[in-house]
Structure 1
């Protein structure tokens, strides 16, 4: 398999949950898809809890356990939720066509909310810190 899009949402969700998804398939787009699936299934806080745990577990199994960034993960879910609420799409692929900036300019979207010093700080990596520039709606 060469791309996460070859899996249906249920398969993708389950393989990620069990850490059986190939790390090569967990791209930026796959991160967005994980958020899209969970935000459409659960309330925001539940989605945040599930995704943070699963990404942390995935990092510990497939990496050195030092890549998980708490504030970026939570903020990404909040940014995704904002766009999902504006969306007319029922499929992830259509959602990305509707909001291509999520793929091409995600860091810029994140830096509208946070100064670089704060979001890339150790404190922000290990726990959620609220934005210092623009609060989430």
Structure 2
């Protein structure tokens, strides 16, 4: 389990906004969780604005401005929203499990082979 799951959604969001989250805990999955929380609480339009502003502030604080990419941030947020509309879950942990299952099926139907590296 990723470290960000040790925090509630509220704690995670607040720690990120206040730049208290350890940068090593802000994985790709944590990035998707931030999108999920924002979309769930504020709707897609406000979530897109929030995430851009919060990420820019965070990467500046941790002196990693070169890691921010607006196009990728918006695409990830829109992808989360797309799957949220199809999801039956009410929490991120179940959502990401469901999302990964759907992605694996979609990729395998496309001819890609999905493997896990341990």
Q: TM-score, normalised by structure 1?
A: 0.71
Rounded to whole Å, the distance in 1 between the matches of 2:101 and 2:65 is 29
Pairwise CA distance, 1:71: 0.7
Residue pairs, 1:1-16, within 5 angstroms:
3-16=3-16
Partner of residue 47, structure 2: 47
Query: For each residue in 1:8-61, what CA deviation from the matched residue of structure 2 results, as whole angstroms up to 9, or x when unmatched?
Result: 000000000011100011001100100000000112111000000111111111
Give the superposition deviation at 1:91: 1.3
Aligned residues: 104
CA pair 65-102 structure 1, distance change in 2 beyond 3 A? farther
Cα separation, 1, equivalents of 2:23 and 2:103: 19
- Is there any run of 5+ residues in structure 2 with no aligned partner, and where? 108-118
Query: Whose helix proportion is higher, 1 or 2?
Result: 2
Gaps (5+ residues) in structure 1? 109-137
The residue aligned with 1:96 is 96
Separation of aligned partners in 2, 1:93 and 1:103? 15
1:71-82 aligned within 5 A? 71-82=71-82
TM-score, normalised via structure 2 length: 0.81
Instruction: Look up the SS of the partner of 2:65 in the other structure.
Output: coil
RMSD, matched Cα: 1.9
Sort the Cα spacing of 1:21 and 1:71 in 2 relative to 1 into closer, same or farther, 3 A.
same
Q: CA 1:103–1:86 in structure 2 vs 1: closer, same or farther (change >3 Å)?
A: closer
In structure 2, how many angstroms separate the alpha carbons of the residues matched to 1:83 and 1:51? Answer: 18
In 2, the alpha carbon distance for the partners of 1:72 and 1:29 equals 14
